[in-house]
Chains A and B, each alone.
Chain A
């Protein structure tokens, strides 16, 4: 299965997550008008979400994203987790 979720951060940016999943999240693509330093960390954020259970809680997904060494600008780990939950719902 696959799905898309998005979060528009109030006074912030749009984060969109496209995921393919079964019992687990198989692949994730994150797009949007946010900023990220370093930019190459995008792949690390995607990798942190891949392999998570498809029914993982938003808190668990946020914790997975929080473990990535990157500065999220215009959005935060919670926004990314919320968009992911919507994508796999």
Chain B
């Protein structure tokens, strides 16, 4: 699959709340869909702990409601399907690709593999034994290190991925209900609980990992460093207030 590698914008800055992050996904995907934006890669920086939850998941099935409320953990429903992740500032690496649909394989399974490949390459280069595992996982022999989710619109594909760099996986089991014995059968639970953490296997800092990712991306797709525009950010802040910070959206299921 060949890409137009001339005009990618790479954004590696900006710390936002979980609702603003998720609102940016909708704003930027829509802008690309309407032809108002260049293809973009964006790395996320967070300021609070959170749970980005899959679009079709039921709030009360996924998180320990009392625990997240007592601890100020921001649970925000994504526009993409898939599962809930627990995230901590500085301890996960999240990135988003906003890609023209014409540049992505039509086959969903192939598109996950294709859009993950530059990440697999970068992590392999720094000595991390990871591979793409269908449908949407990045896996290490010790367990799942990350997961991707996609949304397709008429002319755009959103592909975003979160990987654990140094996540507190014991805390994860207090936040997500997969930690509860009664919630699912043992086979399901053990599979979902098996999370691998990058820092157990490499010496590189999170910043160094992200630098390696940017290098690999540019080797594959080109692109140059850029920023969000004021318009993009203000649209996202508005949408966060109207949608992604509201119970109507986050607790609708």
Contact = CB atoms under 8 A, between A and B. Distances in A.
A45 B49 CA distance: 34
A47 to B, nearest CB: 15
A8 B83 CA distance: 13
A69 B108 CA distance: 16
Interface stretch (A30-38, A52-60, A81-89): A30-38
A31 B61 contact: yes
A36 B79 CA distance: 11
Interface string B61-85: 1000000000000000001111110
Contacts of A74: 81, 135
Interface string A33-72: 1111111001000000000000000000000000000010
Nearest 7 interchain pairs by C-beta: A35-B81, A33-B83, A31-B58, A33-B54, A37-B152, A8-B188, A31-B253
Summarize A's interface: helix, strand, loop or mixed.
Answer: strand
B58 A36 contact: no
Interface of A: 8, 11-12, 14, 16, 29-39, 42, 71, 73-74
A73 B81 contact: yes
Given A8-B184, A29-B253, A31-B61, 6 more contacts: A12-B135, A16-B61, A30-B56, A31-B58, A34-B56, A39-B56
Contacts of B80: 35
Interface string B28-60: 000000000000000000000000001111100
Given A8-B188, A16-B61, A73-B81, A36 B56 contact: yes
B150 interface: yes
Interface string B152-189: 10000000000000000000000000000000110010
A32 B188 contact: no
